[in-house]
Amino acid sequence: MNLTLDRTASTDAPILDVLAERWSTRIFDPVAPLDEAALASALEAARWAPSANNTQPWRFIVARRGTEAHAAVVATLVGFNQSWATDAAALVVFAATTEVDGRPQHFATYDTGQAAAHFTVQAHASGLHTHQMGGFDRAAIAAAFGLGADITPLTVMAVGALGDVAGAPEPLRERELAPRTRRSIADSLVGA
């Protein structure tokens, strides 16, 4: 039995529902198939993210559960991430082309972050759940997928259907059900 979760953020100013309702789960359904149409829409949203001079520095590795690519990505995750992320229907690596023709692309990581954000919002709007991870071995990802020195893996995103929160191990369930918090806008403003 899956708990019905209302994880809508309590915001200080109105924001789009899709943003207020999105959260980063660690509990994925280990058998639900990947909604390929929803994934295609999320990738399309990422493709249309803004980028400096329209350089589109992002590169994506989509590793579906049950494939060698998925196993290769899982092998690069730090221990805690391996304990839950393997259940996701896909692991998507977001990487940035940080150099072109020997010239550094200073906004590549920022722009790739925007692509990941667009992906996340569209995925949520399409019924998928996501969780981004920084805990992985970047060099191992680069080696496993033959990435050149000019392409830098930035994050791995777990993608799939929400799993059974009630049946999750206690540490994951506690994290999933903990209140959502953010510091105030005033604490985020510098020099204002």
Q: What are 54-84's pLDDT values in tens digits? A: 999 999 999 999 999 999 999 999 989 999 9
Domain of residue 115, residue span: 35-162
What's the rounded Cα separation, in Å, for the pair 140 and 145? Answer: 9
Q: What is the pLDDT of residue 192?
A: 62
Residue 68 neighbours by CB distance under 10 Å: 9
Q: What is the pLDDT of residue 2?
A: 45
Using alpha carbons only, how large is the chain's radius of gyration in Å? 17
Q: Considering the domain boundaries, does residue 147 fall inside one?
A: yes
What CATH number should be reported for the domain holding residue 149?
A: 3.40.109.10
User: What percent of the chain has a predicted confidence (pLDDT) above 90?
Assistant: 72
Counted domains in the chain = 1
The type of residue at 69 is A
**pTM, full prediction:** 0.92
Q: Are residues 24 and 85 in contact, defined by beta-carbon separation less than 8 angstroms?
A: no
- Residue 150, C-beta contacts closer than 8 angstroms, at least 6 positions apart: 97, 98, 99, 100
Q: Considering the domain boundaries, does residue 173 fall inside one?
A: no
Q: What is the pLDDT of residue 4?
A: 55
Segments of the chain with pLDDT less than 50 = 1-3
